[in-house]
Structure 1
Amino acid sequence: MAFVGTQSVSCSSSSTTSGFKYDVFLSYRGSDTCKNFTDHLYAALKQKGIFTFRDDEKLERGTFIDLELLRVIEESRFVVVVISENYTSSNPSDVRNLKNTFGEAFAKHEEFFKDNIEEVYRWKAALTQVAKIAGWDLRDKHEANVVEEIVRKISNKLISTYLIVHKDFVGTNSRMEELVNLLGMGLNDIRFIGIWGIQGLGKTTLAQVVYDRFRYYFDGSSFLVNVREECGKHGLVHLQKQLLFDILIERNINFSDVQWGSNVIEKRLCNKSVLIVLDDVDQLDQLEALASERVWFGQGSRVIITTRDQHLLIKHDVARAEIYKAKELNSDEALQLFSRKAFKKDHPLEGYVELSKKAICYAQGLPLALNVLGPFLKHRSPEHGKVP
């Protein structure tokens, strides 16, 4: 194995308009890597949820890249190029200067494609450019470490390209700032953070925004929604298995009781940096089964717990300084959210101002109530749109 490089793709106007279909196009050549390094890299990218195109046949069948494959490249955010020569000692300078086996290969191409020599020159120029890209020379390095480093770099680059829109989540900025301060991102400790408040304050939505923003900074992540309800329907073992599957991407982890599941979680995740959200927890045994101790997780891990019961967090040794109390929307935020739901605007329509003010007074700043009342008023005249 010689050299691996990554490069962002310059998008055409069509790609910009319609968006990218793949996160990564994995470019490689030859059977010497498809079952070794390239396969390991592909699996690691997939495990991280990075949508990767791997060409298994087309590049092996012919020399020219067909139009279909060029289209796929244009639809990919990044290209990872694996340059190899049967695991020998070739290196980036050999590629860049077309020496040794690379020089020999192009000499053959020039002879074979002498009637289309300009195409060969284009290949030379392209390969020379690839070799100039900052990348990884695998000589005397452990493949697993290089794979991990590549995946981490791509994950971090992808974060800045994702535009996560949480529709109608009004008042997020100030609340996010407070919660992010509690998270202490970048610190190497292990933290349990609580979000508590009455039903309808948007605790789950706030946790979801944080999760979507930071999940790619961790080795693995899991968002268990409605723990209280799911536990009642399916039991704690089901939730333990879901947690492990989300983080490890393994379906064959099997155990039959909660204590066994707790042991598996501790042993399998103690060396991983993870982000976990346990949503709507209402019993201490749920926390003990899913995130009993901080030592269950690797350094830098964060566990976010949403609940209606502040004392549950205290019983679970969540520090008071790491508990965030969800807040009602102020009158301006409430009016904006209600208007979006009722009129698809940031303000009430003419003739609906007084009715809208009555609605937000009735809702008392609860996002859930506003989400229900807004659609109720949609398409109704002011005289028929009474607040219930």
Structure 2
Amino acid sequence: MDAFKISKSEIPFGSDKEYHVFLSFRGPDVRNTLVGHLYEALTVAGLNVFVDSHKLEKGEIIGLSLERAVENSSIRIPIFSQGYADSAWCLKEAAAILETPSKIIPLFYDVDPTDVRYPLNDSSPYKQAFLRHYGHPDRYQEKEIDGWKHALEEICSHSGWSRDITGG
């Protein structure tokens, strides 16, 4: 995973930040593959990395803990995968990533950046997930879902990593 070599001196962190890096990802897609390698590489470099499975305390309110972790991170790496938009938690994290100024480095894992930027395009693997979210007005307000779409568009305007892991 040489592409993920990052030294502590490259991270623009302030003294008030608890974490150097916050990783946002859809667990079933990448937790035991990419995220494991990335987490190891970053921690070996001496960085304090927030990954929900390692840092959430039992009994904590998940939403508040994630929001606090996003706010208390100097760099945020959303890892967009095929199933990222299926998770309202992931989309909420994406929106929270934009709320506080920090460095954002998107990582596109087996998904095209254009499909993430425009989730309602017919070619986007996110289209069906967004239509499901819109179809549940009892759970999510249209304004909130529109905010998620805006967050994806803005995050995709940042330079990041994109790699087709299918080998095609």
TM-score interval (norm. to shorter): 0.5 to 0.7
Residue aligning to 1:351: none
Q: What's the counterpart of residue 115 of structure 2?
A: 94
In the TM superposition, residue 97 of structure 1 has moved relative to its aligned partner by 1.1
Q: Counterpart of 1:101 in 2: which secondary structure? A: coil
Count of aligned pairs: 125
Q: The residue matched to 1:35 in structure 2 has which SS?
A: helix
2:150 maps to 1:125: yes
Describe how 1:2-13 pairs up with structure 2 within 5 A. Answer: none
| Secondary structure of 2:111's aligned partner | coil
Q: Which residue of 2 aligns with 1:37?
A: 34
Normalised by the length of structure 2, the TM-score is 0.63
| Equivalent residue number for residue 80 of structure 1 | 77
Q: How big is the shift at 1:89?
A: 4.7
> CA separation in 1, counterparts of 2:64 and 2:26?
18
- Give the partner amino acid of 1:119: E
Q: How does 1:200-219 map to 2 (within 5 A)?
A: none
Residues in 1 aligned to 2:110 and 2:20: alpha-carbon distance in whole angstroms: 30
1:134 to 128, 143, 159: 159
Q: Which amino acid aligns with 1:113?
A: P
Q: Residue 136 of structure 2: which of 106, 112, 116 is its match?
A: 112
Q: What displacement does 1:30 show?
A: 3.0
Please state if 1:21 is matched with 2:18. Answer: yes
The 8 Å contact of residues 113 and 120 in structure 1, kept in 2 or not, is answered as no
The answer as to 2:78 corresponding to 1:54 is: no
More helix by share: 1
CA shift at 1:56, angstroms?
Answer: 2.6
**TM-superposition CA deviations, 1:239-279 (whole Å, max 9, x none):** xxxxxxxxxxxxxxxxxxxxxxxxxxxxxxxxxxxxxxxxx
Deviation at 1:141, TM superposition (A): 9.1
RMSD: 3.3
User: What percent of counterpart residues are identical?
Assistant: 31
Letter in 1 for 2:16: G
- Once the two structures are TM-superposed, the CA of residue 32 in structure 1 deviates from its matched residue by 1.8
Amino acid paired to 2:80: I
In the superposition, the TM-score normalised over structure 1's length comes to 0.29
Structure 2 residues not aligned, in runs of 5+: 5-10, 56-61, 84-107
- Highest RCO, 1 vs 2 (Cα 8 Å, sep ≥ 6): 2
Letter of the 2:128 counterpart = E
Q: Is the CA contact (8 Å cut-off) linking 2:109 and 2:164 kept in structure 1?
A: no
Counterpart Cα distance in 1 of 2:152 and 2:64:
19
Structure of greater Rg? 1
Equivalent residues in 2 for 1:1-388, closer than 5 Å: 19-56=16-53, 66-85=63-82, 89-98=110-119, 99=121, 100-113=124-137, 116-139=141-164
User: Which residue number corresponds to residue 191 of structure 1?
Assistant: none
**Cα distance in 2 between the residues matched to 1:20 and 1:88:** 27
TM-superposition CA deviations, 1:195-248 (whole Å, max 9, x none) = xxxxxxxxxxxxxxxxxxxxxxxxxxxxxxxxxxxxxxxxxxxxxxxxxxxxxx
Once the two structures are superposed, residues 40-71 of structure 1 have per-residue CA deviations (whole angstroms, 9 ceiling, x without a partner) of: 0001101111110101399xxxxxx7222111
Segments of 4+ in structure 1 off by > 6 A? none
- Paired position in structure 1 for 2:91: none
